[in-house]
Structure 1
Amino acid sequence: MTRTLTGPTDHVVVVGAGLAGLAAALHLLGAGRRVTIVERDNGPGGRAGRLVRGGYHIDTGPTVLTMPEIADEAFAAVGTSLREHIELIELHPAYRAAFADGGTLDVHTDPEAMEAEVERFAGPAEAAGYRRLRHWLTELYRAQRHRFLDADFDSPRQLLGPDLLRLAALGGFGRWENGVARHLRDERLRRVFTFQALYAGVPPTRALAAYAVIAYMDTVAGVYFPRGGMHALPRAMAEAAQRAGAAVHYGRPVTALERSGERITAVLTAEQRIPCDAVVLTPDLPVTYRLLGRTPRRPLRLRHAPSVVVLHAGCDRTWPQLAHHTLSFGSSWRRTFEQLTRTGELMSDPSLLITRPTATDPALAPPGRHLHYILAPCPHTGIGPGPADWHDLGPRYRDALLGELEHRGLDGLAAAIEEECLITPADWTAQGHAAGTPFSAAHTFTQTGPFRPRNLVRGTTNAVLAGCGTTPGVGVPPVLLSGKLAATRITGTHDGTPRHRTRTRNRAEESRT
């Protein structure tokens, strides 16, 4: 039995209108709570934001949606559905992998299409290995979905049970790379099913095989893109929350939390004091702990995931070899992870993600124009260049990346750019992200499950945390689940069934807060 908040919880203030905060708000509204959302930016989204330049509509955060049923749970809490608000387009292929030897592989989530593609690429033995790998990934997901991913933890003892034994029997506590290698001999194919370890912040040679569930989401469950871009998701969630009665205040950074003993009694901004019975805090952990006035002690120092440099480029042309998502792998692999997680160097032989959202939704750019999103993993500022270094390093690294991509076949890329925005760890730091990374705490063993920073903080009895720094972790599906889990701590419901009918309140009443 997991802990829930004690005392009244009628009015909940959610700090942050990112995916975690909006998911929490929808689940709270569905359980009959009165909800006020306070967001520092001028609109919803948080990390899943939107930038408009020269007619280009740029998603500044996640580029795809996996496991859309998790987002749908949040909409269902207030009596609507994801597909009532958003047109989802399944991507075919989900990714295109381009290798240094010139080979390419289209990654399909349809089993027959992917098996045929693997056989074309690497032969029938590897196609048979893919079938076994797909089954293993699916079983890993089934073992974890409800007991580990969608669960609050108060103690490691809660792990004990048949699901833990099942996960162990599947090899979930071995190494991710070894688990994939049992099924695939081709080193290039292994990369396709292990590159997701970057999201977990741990090299696949050291990451728990349990985290191969991320590869399940990417390569088995389906990859989707909302028409209008990923920012359409938080925008729709915010609209659904407001229709269900939430009061939403944009452009209001929270300056302090008013306390009475161990309870938060009000959330303060420069413009207003908002009384509350409970609060959900979604900023990055250092910001949240500063507001609470307490940083929980840990036996080991928190380790952070690598960061990324992102170049958003609006171009007057595109390149036919680019799919919606193209993974451009360098020759180096193990050394790349060593540089990103241990030595703090920039990738000497980079592996890059190029996203071309206008391949699926041309309306995101002016007519005849194309939007490209170039993502280069880099060390976080705790082991690599610091924020101050990036002010000079950023433009040089941007030029180096463009030069490398031109060398890999995107000829004329630099000259084709009309509008651009470069984001480096200095920008992530300025947004309040610890160690200059948007991926928060790495998913090491000591930062996984019940060992991850918890969503309850001792010394405060009516505050709950949500977001990628707490349970269950990084990525769009886990972040949405973190909002649901935060709501569960408040309402005690967890099965998606509201205890009360949603109460739509008069806006005049909300304004009095």
Structure 2
Amino acid sequence: MSRVVVVGAGLAGLAAACHLAGRGHEVLVTERESLPGGRAGRLESAGFVFDTGPSVLTMPQLIADTLGAAGVRMSDVLTLRRLDPAYRAVYADGSTLRVPADRAAMRAEIAAASGPVDAAAYDRFVDWLEQLYDAEWSRFIDRNFDTALDLVSSPRAAARLLRLGAFGRLGPAVRRRFADPRLHRLFSFQALYAGLSPDDALALYAVITYMDTVQGVWYPDGGMHAIPAALAAAVEKAGGQIRYGADVTEILRRGDTGAVAGVRLSGGETERADAVVLTPDLPVAYRRLLPELRPPRAVRKGTYSPSAVVWHLGVRGRVHDDIAHHNIHFGHEWASAFDALLHDGRLMPDPSRLVTVPSRSDPGAAPPGASTLFVLEPVPNLTAGPDWSTEAGPMRERLLQFLDGAGYPTDIVAEEMVTPLDWERGGLHLGTPFSLAHTFGQTGPFRPPNVEKRVPGVFFAGSGTVPGVGVPMVLISGKLAADRIGSYLGTGPR
């Protein structure tokens, strides 16, 4: 039986472990923290429960597939509920738009707010999104690449993407389809998930818009941390082992071939391994565990996504009935705000912000009569921007003023603010939780590979490698790493 050590019990590592254990490998997951989840962690304070990582969940079938790989049915361990609306969008002029779960209801929402022409355009827009998704998913997202030539291994798919305009820019593609500028923002802000402005992102990233606004946004009973908890239980049920409080400090190699032989833990003990999956942020993984190797160019000199300030708040009082689980507050500025953030390395002068209210869907997230809030503002990563040792206080005051003006309760009982400095202390390069931006030169086969050929048996999973950033993508990255190991060890994926 082959033995695989997975370093890190975040979503990518747990996904890899589910697939590996389900395929018959002996699996050990090492995690330096005391609970699973990695960035998808959990914090409790004064009776409030905060999810410290991703707040928006799409593509639940990928969670079901990952659990299924370990022989576990999702319905037995995790309950997901579709949010309706997926989002409430609030604009600087005071108007609002909701994104209902039903396509016909979304069309009606657009008709009422923007008129019949844009409502009709919505149907054509969804058709376009579905075609993009169909052309991209299996051939360009859910697959391993060995060389850039793999891009033309499916010439029909590539030609179809060209016909669909996938290699144009997302912002102009959306503007061509709708007249109402509010819809331009609603259907293109997702580019920021890829670390880019809508006018810089390739139109192929409209698949994120498709996941968000068509396939829907979901929320687990018990909060987002219920996902890694379910995956960890599945790993153990499939025969894998998870060791918490275990920090890997060295990759051990064979003297004859240089291939992986195991890992050394911070306490000095060693664990044998035929293969190792590394899930720390790639620059950190190379620096700490592969210091003798020169990292790939994209890791060293690539374009990294902006960061974010996240403010977790436990407040007295319940939110008003018109406030949704996810609320996007768009600033008046748009292009200039992205220019400041992405090109000038400055705080957005008129920022757009996401406010998530977990207690809206999970009463257990807050004490009776109280609310849990998650406030996110995009900010530059640590290559530029303010000094967060002094800027955190003023940022808190601005966010507090914003929440109060937007009608949220602000009688604070518990709080935790996370700045780029905190992300960096947590092991994220340049203080960004969003890793390498999805520029064309950092997408698909041009993204850092998930196999380190100079050390046979070392593989990667997570947002820095293929296919990229976001909960769906890192779950896929775990499967792709498991596929690589199957090929390396001669067992193959099942």
The 2-side partners of 1:318 and 1:369 are apart by 5
The 2-side partners of 1:245 and 1:279 are apart by 17
Q: Which amino acid is 2:181 matched to?
A: E
Secondary structure of residue in 2 paired with 1:313: strand
Equivalent position of 1:508 in the other structure? none
Q: Does 1:336 align with 2:334?
A: no
Equivalent position of 2:301 in the other structure? 301
RMSD of aligned Cα (Å): 1.5
Equivalent position of 2:361 in the other structure? 360
Equivalent position of 2:172 in the other structure? 178
Q: Does 1:379 align with 2:388?
A: no
The 1-side partners of 2:162 and 2:63 are apart by 29
The 2-side partners of 1:492 and 1:222 are apart by 34
Secondary structure of residue in 2 paired with 1:29: helix
Deviates more, 1:261-270 or 1:348-357: 261-270
The 1-side partners of 2:171 and 2:266 are apart by 50
TM-score by length of structure 1 reads 0.92
Which of 37, 43, 63 aligns to 2:55? It is 63
Deviates more, 1:336-345 or 1:478-487: 336-345
The 1-side partners of 2:318 and 2:395 are apart by 22
Q: How does 1:390-469 map to 2 (within 5 A)?
A: 390-410=388-408, 413-414=409-410, 416-469=411-464
1:131-176 CA distances to partner (integer Å, 9 max, x unpaired)? Answer: 1111111111111111111011111111112111111111000000
Q: Does 1:279 align with 2:271?
A: no
Q: Is the 8 Å Cα contact of residues 171 and 198 (structure 2) preserved in structure 1? A: yes
Q: Does 1:263 align with 2:259?
A: yes
The 1-side partners of 2:366 and 2:406 are apart by 25
The 2-side partners of 1:111 and 1:238 are apart by 35
The 2-side partners of 1:98 and 1:36 are apart by 46
Which of 52, 57, 73 aligns to 1:81? It is 73
How far off its partner does 1:16 sit?
A: 0.4
Equivalent position of 1:5 in the other structure? none
The 2-side partners of 1:339 and 1:85 are apart by 44
Higher relative contact order, chain-length normalized (CA < 8 Å, sep 6+): 1
Secondary structure of residue in 1 paired with 2:451: coil
Equivalent position of 1:311 in the other structure? 311
Q: Does 1:233 align with 2:224?
A: no
1:282-341 CA distances to partner (integer Å, 9 max, x unpaired)? Answer: 000112112123233427821100100011000111331320000011100111111111
The 1-side partners of 2:294 and 2:128 are apart by 39
Q: Is the 8 Å Cα contact of residues 342 and 383 (structure 1) preserved in structure 2? A: no
1:361-394 CA distances to partner (integer Å, 9 max, x unpaired)? Answer: 1111112211000000101111223xxx212111
1:89-135 CA distances to partner (integer Å, 9 max, x unpaired)? Answer: 11000000000111100112321010001111111111011111111
Number of aligned pairs? Answer: 482
Deviates more, 1:114-123 or 1:265-274: 265-274
Q: Is the 8 Å Cα contact of residues 200 and 474 (structure 1) preserved in structure 2? A: yes
How far off its partner does 1:182 sit?
A: 2.1
Secondary structure of residue in 2 paired with 1:337: helix
The 2-side partners of 1:364 and 1:24 are apart by 29
Equivalent position of 1:19 in the other structure? 11
Equivalent position of 2:157 in the other structure? 163
How far off its partner does 1:498 sit?
A: 6.3
1:163-212 CA distances to partner (integer Å, 9 max, x unpaired)? Answer: 11111111000000111122111111111111111110111101100011
The 2-side partners of 1:219 and 1:295 are apart by 41
Deviates more, 1:178-187 or 1:46-55: 178-187
Equivalent position of 1:50 in the other structure? 42
Q: Which amino acid is 2:94 matched to?
A: G
Which of 190, 198, 209 aligns to 1:196? It is 190
The 2-side partners of 1:209 and 1:64 are apart by 21
Deviates more, 1:251-260 or 1:370-379: 251-260
TM-score by length of structure 2 reads 0.95
The 2-side partners of 1:31 and 1:113 are apart by 43
Q: Which amino acid is 1:437 matched to?
A: T
The 1-side partners of 2:218 and 2:200 are apart by 29
Secondary structure of residue in 1 paired with 2:312: strand
The 2-side partners of 1:470 and 1:391 are apart by 31
Secondary structure of residue in 1 paired with 2:177: coil
Which of 87, 93, 103 aligns to 1:111? It is 103
Q: Which amino acid is 1:289 matched to?
A: Y
Secondary structure of residue in 2 paired with 1:93: coil
Deviates more, 1:220-229 or 1:61-70: 61-70
The 1-side partners of 2:272 and 2:369 are apart by 51
Q: Does 1:351 align with 2:343?
A: no
Secondary structure of residue in 1 paired with 2:480: helix
Q: Which amino acid is 1:46 matched to?
A: G
Q: Is the 8 Å Cα contact of residues 283 and 295 (structure 2) preserved in structure 1? A: no
How far off its partner does 1:83 sit?
A: 2.1
Deviates more, 1:312-321 or 1:240-249: 312-321
The 1-side partners of 2:32 and 2:128 are apart by 43
The 2-side partners of 1:295 and 1:306 are apart by 24
Q: Does 1:244 align with 2:238?
A: yes
The 1-side partners of 2:325 and 2:315 are apart by 15
The 2-side partners of 1:310 and 1:318 are apart by 20
Secondary structure of residue in 2 paired with 1:65: coil
Q: Does 1:91 align with 2:102?
A: no
How far off its partner does 1:26 sit?
A: 0.4
How far off its partner does 1:406 sit?
A: 2.2
Q: Is the 8 Å Cα contact of residues 49 and 60 (structure 1) preserved in structure 2? A: yes
Question: 1:295–1:83: structure 2 CA closer, same or farther, 3 Å change rule?
Answer: farther
1:72-98 CA distances to partner (integer Å, 9 max, x unpaired)? Answer: 111111221222211111100000000
